[in-house]
Amino acid sequence: MKKAQIQMGETIAVLFVFFILVTVGFIFYVKVIKGNIELESEELSQLKSVAIAQRAMFLPELQCSEDNIAIDNCIDILKLDSAQALMRENEVYYYDLLEFSDISISQIYPSEAKWNVYSRKTDEFKSKFVTNAPISLYDPITRKHGFGVLTIETFLK
């Protein structure tokens, strides 16, 4: 084999190794970018679930009020039945607000009870978050507060 042929062989070997390195680097770069996109998507899903939970916690259809002043962290149990019917009748409006989610209220004290306020579930979800918020359940007839938990399940595609 002549010297020139050997040098050509060397150059081809070096180029081969170089392209392998470039390919490995590119694959790694794509993996990192994909990981970052997944990470951002996870963060966005979390923020979306928090936004839906907050919307549910401050729904005027459920919130207690006194002299037209809304009371935070409190649900009027007399409003619950009307709210359930209202949400069923205006499904599209509430879908814009609460998307695919399931909202229920469980009373723990003084007695146990459960209300399902809104339910629109999907089987094709990518992530599901469950948020539990302790909430005061106000009975305007007796003017007494009970203890309950607002459970918001969000299904995100």
Partner 1 sequence: MRKAQMEILGLAIVVVLILVATIFVVRFMVIKSPTEYRKGFISAELASNMLSTFLKTASKDCSYLTMTELLQDCAQTRSIICDNGLDSCKYAESTASKIFDGTFDKWNMKYEFLAYTDASQPLIKIGKACTAEKRSKLFPIPINIATMYAKLDICG
Size of the site for partner 1 (CB under 8 A): 32
What's phi and psi for 130, nearest 5 deg?
A: -115, 125
State the residue for tokens 């939970």.
53
Site string for partner 1, 40-69 (x = CB under 8 A): --xx--xx-xx--x----------------
Using N-to-C axis directions, what is the helix angle for 77-89 and 91-98, rounded to 10°? 110
Report how far residue 18's alpha carbon sits from residue 20's, in angstroms, rounded to the nearest whole number: 5
Nearest approach, Cβ of residue 11 and partner 1 (Å): 13
State the residue for tokens 């309950």.
148
> Is residue 136 close enough to count as binding partner 1 by CB under 8 A?
yes
Q: Which of 78, 82, 74 is nearest to 57 (CA)?
A: 74
Q: Which of 102, 146, 155, 156: binder of partner 1 (CB under 8 A)?
A: 146
Footprint on this chain of partner 1 (rule: CB under 8 A): 21, 25, 28, 32, 35-36, 39, 42-43, 46-47, 49-50, 53, 73, 108-111, 129, 131-136, 142, 144-147, 149
